[in-house]
Amino acid sequence: MRVMVILAVLLLSACQHVPVPPPVSGEIRDLRSGQTLTAQELLARLAQPSRLIVGEQHDNRDHHQLQLWLLQALGERRPQGSLLLEMLTPDQQMRVDHVKHSSPLPADLPNALAWQPGWEWSLYGPIVGFALTQPYPLLAANLDTLEIRTVYAKPPTLSGSRSNAPMVKETLLAQISDSHCGLLPTSQMPAMLAVQQQRDRRMAERLLAAPTPSLLFAGAYHARKDVGVPIHVLDLDEPEAPMVLMLAEQGAEVTPAMADYVWYTPATPPQDYCAQMRKQFGKQSGQ
């Protein structure tokens, strides 16, 4: 009888640690070998490194559902050391820490955190809400507004051979131009590049300083191994770059130079952001 009770307890314990299936279907690839992985095989690999970056498409709901699932499932495999978010700035950190020690959490969580409206709360709220109930710290990884203005007005010199490579700067300049629909004046491009790279440098610094295993959620270009945070980690004399999982829609090109793993999610209808941006640019220009 005693043996049966022990077996029952062991079975129940095992069942409690079986992660639920991911909320989103898709194809997972190891970009180094080309091997297709199951979600559980991916989890086993992501649980190993001390630092992990997950790249996202900011407006893709599937990506945020997968990030929450990854955070919860990895926490079942080993203790999580910290979670860092591109969406949080240093001037919010005191609010985050205060809310984290509140019980229960405030009813109006976005207001309590001074959440920035540029990040859609319905997408990020579940991740933030879960992280605030966990024992590990939730950390800001970005620059605040004043820092961005300072960088834009007087771009600082960036140290490191990798982050100063011509290919890196050319790739980022092209991305900045595309993301602004080609509307940015050429004169503004160097300052915009400086802001982008200083954001990457800050995320790298925060990732290196955070308790491990650390996990950073950031936009795809910040996450990329060839132009983003990982090369800044190496330029800061860390011998090993973080592991990178890229969340991308089917049809997107993700190469082994960009990430270690890719999780392709179903494609969503394209949004014509450029039409809205051209309209806004025309108003600002008095056209």
Where do the DSSP E strands lie in 63-195?
A: 82-85, 138-140
Residue 9 has pLDDT above 50, yes or no: no
Longest dimension (CA), the chain: 84
Q: What is the pLDDT of residue 183?
A: 80
Question: Where on the phi/psi map is residue 182: left (φ > 0), alpha (ψ -120 to 50), or beta?
Answer: left
In a domain? residue 258: yes
In a domain? residue 3: no
Q: Are 260 and 245 in contact (CB under 8 A)?
A: yes
Give mean pLDDT, residues 10-23. 55
Distances (CA, A) of 105 to 1, 83, 121, 128: 45, 18, 16, 11
In a domain? residue 28: yes
- Determine the distance from the C-alpha atom of residue 138 to the mean position of all C-alpha atoms in its chain, rounded to a whole number: 13
- For 136-175, write each residue's pLDDT tens digit: 999 999 999 999 999 999 999 999 999 999 999 999 999 9
Q: What does 4-58 look like in DSSP terms, one character per residue?
A: HHHHHHHHHHHHHTSPPPPSS--EEEETTT--EE-HHHHHHHHTSSSEEEEEE-T
Locate tokens 């299936």: which residue?
Answer: 21
In a domain? residue 120: yes
Distances (CA, A) of 241 to 17, 131, 154, 168, 188: 30, 25, 29, 16, 31
In a domain? residue 95: yes
Give 269 or 273, the one with higher predicted confidence.
269
Give the CATH number of the domain where residue 223 resides. 3.40.50.11550
* Confidence grade of residue 268 (pLDDT, cut at 50, 70, 90): confident
In a domain? residue 38: yes
Q: What is the pLDDT of residue 76?
A: 96
- For 64-93, write each residue's pLDDT tens digit: 999 999 999 999 999 999 999 999 999 999
Q: What is the pLDDT of residue 284?
A: 54
Domain enclosing residue 159, as ranges? 23-268
Number of independent structural domains in the chain: 1
- For 185-202, write each residue's pLDDT tens digit: 888 999 999 999 999 999
Give mean pLDDT, residues 250-277. 88
Q: What is the pLDDT of residue 20?
A: 82
- For 213-242, write each residue's pLDDT tens digit: 999 999 999 999 999 999 999 999 999 999
In a domain? residue 110: yes
